[in-house]
Chains A and B, each alone.
Chain A
Amino acid sequence: GAGVSQSPRYKVAKRGQDVALRCDPISGHVSLFWYQQALGQGPEFLTYFQNEAQLDKSGLPSDRFFAERPEGSVSTLKIQRTQQEDSAVYLCASSFNDMNTEAFFGQGTRLTVV
């Protein structure tokens, strides 16, 4: 596609429910990043993939958060047993080859845990 696509755009989950957020990067982009953005704050790094390899997951806030990119293209961020503090916008970005090229962001998924 022409840009990074994320789905769903909005997700309301009951506390304790599992959710899965999808990211379709720009075709051919090797690097993929996930960020969490709380209201009024800058995005916080969660995890980074190069192709299918997850090279950095240091930003994942707990073991309830899990990300995968099995075929080196589409990525899924899964949050198990959601809690109210997980409410945020989750942003995905991709870049052409490595960390030295321009990153392009999707529109984000707004997760609200009630």
Chain B
Amino acid sequence: KQEVTQIPAALSVPEGENLVLNCSFTDSAIYNLQWFRQDPGKGLTSLLLIQSSQREQTSGRLNASLDKSSGRSTLYIAASQPGDSATYLCAVGGKLIFGQGTELSVKP
């Protein structure tokens, strides 16, 4: 059974810092890995999708990497801003099995 773990559960950083969120999964037989952002009381916004054959994807200040063999993904956020404050979730697909999320707070 696929299990997804995200570390840390919560993170607080000052504005401008670069940061890394971690995601690990137990079964490397995945179709893809997707990172999402969730604001309080809202649905999930897709940030990046990495196919199983890819190593990384970039969008603006976000960079996500995937190492299937070790069962790990990282989400790198450059030059963090207060507007980045949210819960970040990773999910491995097929049917999207989610981690518990990392709650990020960026202080002005």
Contact = CB atoms under 8 A, between A and B. Distances in A.
Secondary structure at the B interface, as helix, strand, loop or mixed, is strand
Contacts, number: 60
A43 B43 CA distance: 10
Interface string A73-114: 000000000000000000101000001111111111000000
Interface stretch (B14-22, B61-69, B93-101): B93-101
Interface size class of A (residues with CB under 8 A): 20 to 34
Interface residues of B, number: 24
Contacts of A45: 95-98
B74 interface: no
Interface of B: 4, 6, 31-32, 34, 36, 42-46, 49, 51, 89, 91, 93-101
28 contacts: A33-B95, A35-B98, A41-B101, A42-B6, A42-B91, A42-B99, A42-B100, A42-B101, A43-B44, A43-B89, A45-B95, A45-B97, A48-B95, A91-B43, A93-B96, A99-B93, A99-B94, A100-B31, A100-B32, A100-B51, A100-B93, A102-B46, A102-B49, A103-B34, A103-B91, A105-B46, A107-B42, A107-B43
